[in-house]
Structures are given as C-alpha cells and as structure tokens.
Amino acid sequence: MSTTDNVLTGLTAAVANSELDSGIAAGLTAADTFSASRLDNLGLVHQARITALTRTVNSLTAQYGAKVTQVIAAQANVTATQAVVARLLVVKQQTAETAPVVTSTGWAVWGHVYDSASTPLSGYCVFLTDAQKNYQDAYGFQFTDSNGAFVINWAGQDAQGAQAAATPPTVYLAITNAKAQLVYEGSNALALAIGSALYVDTTLAGGEPVLGNLPAKIKRVAQPAQNAK
C-alpha cells in the first residue's frame, strides 16, 4: 500500500469517527430532557471534532486535492457537525426560555424564527392567517426580538370583552421579513389548545423566497416607514 493510500485510509477512519451520533440527533427532539451543562458538553465534543477534522481536511487537500473522495466525505462531515453545533445552541436557548402565562380561556403561540444556519432573525413580523391566507387581525402580530423570539398571546376575549369560543380557532403561522415581504406561510394548522401555550420554531429556507407583501392592516399599524414603501 502506498503512502497516499495509507494517508487516505487514515482519513476514512477519521471520517467514520466524526460521524454524527444518532442518539444526539434523536435527543434533540426531546430537548427538555437535557440540562444546560449536558448541552454545553455535547457542543464542546462536536466543536472538537470540527477542529480536528478541519485540520485533517486542509492538510490532505493541500497534498492530494479537494476532489479526492475521502476528502469530500470529510468536508461533508465538517458541514454536518457544524449544523449540529448550531442546533445545540438553539436547543440550549429553548430550554432556558419560560413559556408565557396563558389565561384559562385563552391560548398563546410562541417560539423563534431562524435562518437555515440556525441564526436568530430579528425584526421579522409573525402573524396568523385562516385557511384562505387572510390575516386574522383579532389576534394581532409580533415582531421577533434580537433572539428571534416572538409571543402571540390571546386572552380569550374580543375587543369588547365578550367571551371567545370554547374551542381555539383554526389558524396558520405566517412571517414577513424586515422589508415587509412575506417569506413564510404555514401549510399546517397550529395545534392550539385552550389554556395552553404552543411552542413553534420556524426555520426559513435559504434565500427566503418572497411569497408576497405584508398585509396592509399590519403595514399601516406597525411597519416602520422606511420599510413600508
């Protein structure tokens, strides 16, 4: 076996050792079982993997080129592990959040908006629509804060103080960016429940395809003048 083969065989082993732990991927769907310290430790483990593998990839790329199969596989693992680290940071933030207080007759939708790299998106407008994509102004809207967080909290009464229906409405989540462009329309109705707060995380696809403009009712009330043009 040549020196090149030996080196690439070693790289193949490095790729195998750097593969994502299936248990971690599964565990991310049950974030409430993780303590902050465990999330920190998982992040450190994967960050160390990124550092070691990136160093190996750079060295072998310089020697054998970027198109060698094992180098390509190793780079893919670097990218995948970076995604896990970003996701761990998101989960850690989620576990530190406190659900909003909801009245016994009301409901709430709360959560975060992220881009495809799990970076929080600030200044995005979150609101609710019906099945025909009409803005449901009775429930208002919220702009995401610096952490990408939002809360829409319905107390269960209309503007005149009349009691709302005993069952929650059928509504969908919609989001516009800071330029008043619609970039997200949920295809599934929110699973609202009276007396409960529903947590929803939304990750916007890369490139944020523009679906339309901010509803006029929101634009008139809340959109900054420079963005309402």
Last residue of a domain, one of 48, 75, 96: 96
**Is the whole model's pTM more than 0.75, yes or no?**
no
Select from 102, 94, 147 the least CA-distant residue to 122.
147
CA–CA distance, 43 with 40 (Å, rounded to integer): 5
Do 131 and 65 share a structural domain? no
Count of Cβ atoms closer than 10 Å to residue 39 Cβ: 21
* Angle separating helix axes 3-17 and 69-96, nearest 10 degrees: 20
CA distances (Å), 176 to each of 14, 130, 158, in order? 43, 16, 25
Amino acid identity, position 202:
T
Cα separation of 52 and 46, whole Å? Answer: 10
Tens-digit pLDDT profile for residues 174-184: 998 888 888 99
Answer whether residue 101 is part of any domain. no
Q: Are residues 218 and 154 in the same domain?
A: yes
Residue 220 lies in a domain: yes
Of the residues 69, 96, 123, the one at which a domain ends: 96
pLDDT tens, position by position, 202-227:
988 776 777 877 777 777 766 654 44
**Is the pLDDT higher at 213 or at 16?**
213
> Structural domain of residue 38, as residue ranges?
3-96
Rounded to an integer, what distance in angstroms lies between the CA atom of residue 107 and that of residue 145? 21
Same domain, yes or no: 113 and 80: no
| Residue 79 burial (C-beta neighbours within 10 Å; 0-12, 13-18, 19+) | exposed
User: Are 76 and 121 members of one domain?
Assistant: no
Best CA proximity match to 77, nearest among 49, 96, 97: 49
Could you tell me if 64 and 111 lie in one domain? Answer: no
Examine the fold and report which residue of 96, 126, 143 is the final residue of a domain before the chain moves on: 96
- Same structural domain, 221 and 120: yes
* pLDDT (mean) for 195-205: 88
Residue 102 lies in a domain: no
What are residue 201's DSSP bridge partners? 112
